[in-house]
Amino acid sequence: MGIPDVLRRFAFRLRSHLRPDADFADMQDELRFHFDREVERHRAAGLSRRDAEYAARLALGNLGAAQDAMREATNWTWLARVQMDLRFAIRSLSHTPAFSLTVVGTIALALGLNTMVFTIFDAYVLRPLQVRDPGALHGVAVTGRTNENSWTDWSLPWDRYLDVAGLSGVVSDAVAYRRAFVRIDRMPTIGQLVSGNYFQALGVRVERGRPLLPEDVSVPGDGAVAVISHAMWVSRFGSDSGVVGRTLPIRGRPFIIVGVAAPAFTGLTEVAADFWAPVTMAAVIDGESSQADAGGWPAVNVVVRLGSGIGAQEATAAIGLRLLSSSRDSAGATRVTGARLQSRATLVPMTAEDAAMLTPIWVAFGLVLVIACANVANMMLARGLARQREIGIRLALGAGRRHVVGQLLVEALVLAIPAAALGFLVSRVALAVGVDVMMATFPPSYASFIRPVEMRGDLRVFAFMLTGAVAAAVLFGLAPALQVTRPDPVAATRGESEGGMRQGRLRNFLVIAQMAGCTLLLIVSGVLMRGATRALVLDPGFRAGGVVHLEVNDAQRRDVLTALHRFPIVEDVASTTNPARGLFGSVAVSLLGTSQVRPMYFTRVSPTLFETLQMPLREGRTFTEVEATDRLSVVVLSESAARLLAPGRSAIGSEVRLGSADATLAQEGLADVRTAKVVGVVADAVAGIVLTRRDVPIAYYPADVATTGSLLVAVRGSVATAARALETALERELPGSVTAILPLEESVAAQIYPVRAASWVATLLGAVALVLTVSGMYGVLAYLVAQRTREFGIRMSLGARRGVVVREVMGQSLRLAAVGIPIGLANRVGDSSHLLLVDAGYPFVRSDGLCDGCNRDRGGKRTGRVVAVASSRLRGSSERPSRRLAMALAATREVVRPAGSRAPN
Amino acid sequence: MPTDRRLDVLQGTLDMILLGLLRGGRANAWDLTNAIHATSRGTLDVNYGTLYPALRRLESRGLIAGKWGTSENNRRARFYELTASGKKALRDERDAWERFTATVGLLLDSR
């Protein structure tokens, strides 16, 4: 069919729909013309005008019916019908404002919570970065293998970055960045040290001034300029229009501000950056740790823009090949195997596995929506039954069932759309409150690193809401609509609405579904709450209280140490390469003379660390100062490591060999340590995140506090006060020396925080589900009881005792619970929440720690408690209707009795 | 058994008949009625109730296009003509019709 015909067709229908009056007039005109011609014909044949008109009418048939048929023929009558349905729905719903508001409120709450989750998801995962053609951007990682372990490293040496950037046929641009944490006027600040082409290649606008340019980033150690973020411009410089040319003191060096980035751009990573500075300043900003062997150029994260027509697979192969060939000549046992590319079109790149990991969250929130819909479906059902007479009359008058169902669905939509609008408000409020709560409850030293991105209600959120609203309308509207349009019109017009078998079944199903969903959510929140409680009292194997984690400028490190020892509040100073954050590196270790190789975590610590962190020595001794400074080949093992290497005997005095010298080892300065003598065994502690298991094997190698690792300072008195005092004193004596200062216990709290937050969210969801379920059950049971009042009245008048009837109603609800609760339990959320934690980056969730509850208690105590809670709740919600029933019955008996007693007369 | 000489137009065939008549050029509904009456020598008869809905249907399907014009007696009348898709539809329906009648004929003659 040609395009013009399609258009003509559409225009025709549109006209008949939009201008029905004009269309109708045309139709009449046409028919009138026909009629007149017919009359003329008969007149010509000699009939009188009257007879001619009569004959014409006879020949042409029913005019009105013809017009109706013509209108039907245009096909768009359904649209007109929807409009009528809409008007009718709005009218009939406004007659029952309490019902309408309850429905809207219920759906809005559930939809709002879901929208909140989606908005967060959208902001991080779906919203494209504010750069030119974000779809072509890909992060580049080098993949490799060490022993049997394959690894992926997103941090590339500078030379590899140049290699990748040189593949001009494959990538059109390659930018490099590395994150830097600094303190500017005691404010923790996040910077991105970037390559010279960063702004231009990404196509990022600057609001004022100029972007960083390649000439700013040419010589290592040079280029003390910076572009600041819009947020920093507002907060730190008060939106000063003359900010360009002012300076930013970073590590005691003044960086000249050359520009302010556009407000929408916060960098390529999920944590918003405060400033961008040349990567050539890495040595100044990061100190020694960033120094690689590339002549002062540091390791960087690389993002490429693929050339036009180049697919990700093709690019992965080409880049992999380049990385492979260039790493051949570099020494070491690390085998590079290729490259990995990941889309960087949004803040958080998401793979299928990541998305799968989020499933439990979606399910939990989705469940609340389903419970809300079940609630409303029940209300709609009750309302539908009350309207059965009206519906019956309409059916009896010849309305098609399809039309009546359609009308009821339109009513559901009329409720769902304002619910979506209100839900949007709910989501905005929930987001704002959520961010505030998080800021208020997060460990204060870390709170400044939390930078929620702007949560906008954009087109995707709108589409999500609309889909959600329509889905909800169908969920809560369709089943009741089908249900109430089923009955026999004759009975319905007489006002008899016997809730038949099917209605009862639907209602029971809805109640059971609610119970099951609610039970599920309560269990999840129970497990997570317990996990959070336990996390707070978990013993990670070291003390976190009374210790300050201090990061200092390498150049001033020795002066800082001297100063620290002078301060009276300082008890002790130690250092470690893993100050209770991040996971330890791992290495294959074997006992000399045996072939068995054991994978182990390793870290480097100063001799005083064990004492500072109060990790008890089980055997042997710790390092001596000499061993630390001269990096002698000695090692202290954790109890588990000792057991693993020398089961059943003392490991002291044995020699251990490091499996291979890989890149991680080199980074930790252990490349030359081939064998080491075991001098001591210390108690077990976690290797990194505090929620992980404690009984992991760890090898502690010596480090010199004067040169290596983060400083851990044991202080007297309150840690917060001490930290402030330390920083003040150090800033006074050695300006710019402190780059980070954090109470260690706050680091621990920050690690536990996700579990606590998850438990709060789960509790909130559980509470909402509980309220919805209780109110839903109450409604259903009250309705059921009201419906059966007549039956009960008759039974009681026949001699049934009040207790029997009450028991029966209770029994009915408990039977529903007896089905619903086990279904909820059967989902074994204990396991799934456990999996969630494991997935969420806690790979060694301890068997004695967070999650044993879900194993030990499954089918046991917890289940019992949940059942008790659920059934007491159920009792509560059916007791009141029962009691009201009893009161109603008393009245009924009065009415029925005299009637009954009169009967024999 | 006496049968009425006038046949009811089979549902669906009227559309085809109208398309077929319009192949000869544009015409108004009155002309079409007369044409059907005359061509079928009074065998087929259509009234308002079938003709106009059929025209509307065809127009809303884009097979014919209606335009207001002036009739030979200088009255305002609506004239219909075939569209490109109408011509194609006519060809298709004609083929189908021929196959159908041929088949029905075969079946009727088979004994």
Q: Which CATH number goes with the domain that contains B63?
A: 1.10.10.10
Look at A73-87, A137-151, A401-415 and tell me which has the smallest mean pLDDT.
A73-87
Calculate what percentage of chain A has a pLDDT beyond 70.
Answer: 82
Contacts of B65 in chain A (CB under 8 A): 8
Instruction: Please indicate, yes or no, whether residues A161 and A305 belong to a single structural domain of this protein.
Output: yes
What would the pLDDT profile of A282-340 be if each residue is shown by its tens digit? 877 776 554 455 577 888 899 999 988 888 888 899 999 888 887 764 445 567 888 88
Instruction: Please indicate, yes or no, whether residues A223 and A286 belong to a single structural domain of this protein.
Output: yes
Closest CA to A114 of A324, A369, A312: A369
Find the radius of gyration of the CA atoms of chain A: 37
User: Is A5 close to B83, i.e. CB distance below 8 A?
Assistant: yes
Angle between helices A459-484 and A359-386 (to 10 degrees): 40
What is the DSSP secondary structure assignment for residue A279, as one 8-state letter?
G
Say yes or no: ipTM exceeds 0.90: no
Instruction: Please indicate, yes or no, whether residues A99 and A205 belong to a single structural domain of this protein.
Output: no
Instruction: Please indicate, yes or no, whether residues A232 and A332 belong to a single structural domain of this protein.
Output: yes
Q: Does B1 touch chain A (CB under 8 A)?
A: no
Region of residue A221 (phi > 0: left; psi between -120 and 50: alpha; otherwise: beta): left
Q: Comparing A503 with A470, which gets the higher pLDDT?
A: A470
- Mean of per-residue pLDDT scores for chain A: 78
Q: Does A62 score more than 80 pLDDT? A: no
What pLDDT does residue A829 have?
47
Classify residue A790 by burial, with Cβ atoms within 10 Å: 0-12, 13-18, 19+.
exposed
Is residue B19 within 8 Å of residue B96, measured between CB atoms? no
Most confident listed range (A109-113, A603-607, B106-110): A109-113
Q: Does B40 touch chain A (CB under 8 A)?
A: no
The dihedral sign for the CA sequence A455, A457, A459, A464: positive
What is the DSSP secondary structure assignment for residue B100, as one 8-state letter?
H
User: Is A70 close to B88, i.e. CB distance below 8 A?
Assistant: no
Token pair belonging to B88 = 């194609």
Q: Residue A176: which H helix or E strand, with range?
A: strand A171-184
Q: What is the mean pLDDT of residues A575-581?
A: 73
Q: Which residues contact B21 (CB under 8 A, 6 or more apart)?
A: B27, B32, B35, B36, B39
Q: Does A21 score more than 90 pLDDT? A: no
**Has residue B50 been placed in a domain?**
yes
Q: Does A839 score more than 50 pLDDT? A: no
Closest residue in B to A76 (Cα–Cα): B60
Nearest to A73 among B28, B53, B78 (CB): B53
Instruction: Please indicate, yes or no, whether residues A485 and A527 belong to a single structural domain of this protein.
Output: no
**Has residue B1 been placed in a domain?**
no
Q: Does A855 score more than 50 pLDDT? A: no
DSSP letter for each residue of A57-120 = HHHH--HHHHHHHHHHHTSTHHHHHHHHHHHHHHHHHHT-HHHHHHHHHHHHHHHHHHHHHHHH
Q: Does A174 score more than 90 pLDDT? A: yes
Q: Does B53 score more than 50 pLDDT? A: yes
Domain span holding position A48: 3-75
**Has residue A550 been placed in a domain?**
no
pLDDT-based confidence at residue A126 (cuts at 50, 70, 90): confident
Which one of B45, B56, B73, B74 makes the best mutation probe of the A interface by having the most chain A beta carbons within 10 Å? B56
- A638 — phi, psi (to 5°)? -75, 160
Look at A78-87, A88-97, A121-130, A835-844 and tell me which has the smallest mean pLDDT.
A835-844
Q: Does A850 score more than 50 pLDDT? A: no
Instruction: Please indicate, yes or no, whether residues A116 and A56 belong to a single structural domain of this protein.
Output: no
Domain span holding position B55: 13-109
User: Is B49 close to A29, i.e. CB distance below 8 A?
Assistant: no
CA distance A85 to chain B (A): 24
CA distances from A882 to A501, A815, A875 (A): 22, 16, 10
Token pair 């768009």 in the structure block, residue: A76
What pLDDT does residue A659 have?
61
Nearest to B49 among A5, A9, A62 (CB): A62
Which residues of A fall below an 8 Å CB-CB distance to B? 1-2, 4-6, 8-9, 12-13, 16, 26-27, 29-31, 33-34, 36-38, 40, 59-63, 65-66, 69-75
Closest residue in B to A38 (Cα–Cα): B30
Nearest to B53 among A12, A26, A70 (CB): A70
Closest residue in B to A62 (Cα–Cα): B49
Region of residue A669 (phi > 0: left; psi between -120 and 50: alpha; otherwise: beta): left
Q: Which of A40, A57, A75 is the last residue of a domain?
A: A75
Could you give the CA distance from residue B45 to residue B39 in angstroms, rounded to a whole number?
Answer: 11
Q: Comparing A680 with A443, which gets the higher pLDDT?
A: A680
Instruction: Please indicate, yes or no, whether residues A26 and A155 belong to a single structural domain of this protein.
Output: no
Instruction: Please indicate, yes or no, whether residues A67 and A83 belong to a single structural domain of this protein.
Output: no
What pLDDT does residue A258 have?
94
**Has residue A726 been placed in a domain?**
no
What is the DSSP secondary structure assignment for residue A265, as one 8-state letter?
-
**Has residue B6 been placed in a domain?**
no
What is the DSSP secondary structure assignment for residue A698, as one 8-state letter?
E
* Total of domains in chain B: 1
Instruction: Please indicate, yes or no, whether residues A285 and A366 belong to a single structural domain of this protein.
Output: no
Contacts of B56 in chain A (CB under 8 A): 70-71, 73-74
pLDDT-based confidence at residue A845 (cuts at 50, 70, 90): very low
Angle between helices A829-839 and A501-537 (to 10 degrees): 50
Token pair belonging to A513 = 């579904």
Q: Does A663 score more than 70 pLDDT? A: no
* Total of domains in chain A: 5
Q: Residue A123: which H helix or E strand, with range?
A: none
Instruction: Please indicate, yes or no, whether residues A82 and A69 belong to a single structural domain of this protein.
Output: no
**Has residue A63 been placed in a domain?**
yes
Instruction: Please indicate, yes or no, whether residues A294 and A317 belong to a single structural domain of this protein.
Output: yes
Chain A / chain B CB contacts < 8 angstroms: 85
**Residue A340, SS3?**
strand
User: Is B29 close to A34, i.e. CB distance below 8 A?
Assistant: yes
Q: What is the mean pLDDT of residues A791-798?
A: 85
Q: Comparing A626 with A888, which gets the higher pLDDT?
A: A626
- A239 — phi, psi (to 5°)? 55, 35
Instruction: Please indicate, yes or no, whether residues A374 and A425 belong to a single structural domain of this protein.
Output: yes
pLDDT-based confidence at residue A870 (cuts at 50, 70, 90): very low
Q: Does B12 touch chain A (CB under 8 A)?
A: no
**Has residue B4 been placed in a domain?**
no
Is residue A661 within 8 Å of residue A333, measured between CB atoms? yes
Contacts of B76 in chain A (CB under 8 A): 29, 33
Q: Does B69 touch chain A (CB under 8 A)?
A: no
Q: Does A830 score more than 50 pLDDT? A: no
What pLDDT does residue A843 have?
35
What is the DSSP secondary structure assignment for residue A692, as one 8-state letter?
B
User: Is B84 close to A5, i.e. CB distance below 8 A?
Assistant: yes
Q: Which of A443, A478, A498 is the last residue of a domain?
A: A498
Q: Does B100 touch chain A (CB under 8 A)?
A: no
What would the pLDDT profile of A378-432 be if each residue is shown by its tens digit? 888 877 777 777 888 888 887 778 888 888 888 888 888 899 999 999 999 998 8
Global pTM reads 0.69
CA distance A80 to chain B (A): 16
Nearest to B62 among A6, A34, A63 (CB): A6
Q: Does B70 touch chain A (CB under 8 A)?
A: no
pLDDT-based confidence at residue A194 (cuts at 50, 70, 90): very high
What pLDDT does residue A182 have?
82
User: Is B49 close to A69, i.e. CB distance below 8 A?
Assistant: yes
Nearest to A1 among B48, B57, B62 (CB): B62
Contacts of A6 in chain B (CB under 8 A): 62
**Has residue A400 been placed in a domain?**
yes
What pLDDT does residue A580 have?
59
Per this entry, what is the length of chain A? 905
Strand A698-702 to A738-743 pairing: unpaired
Contacts of A22 in chain B (CB under 8 A): none
Per this entry, what is the length of chain B? 111
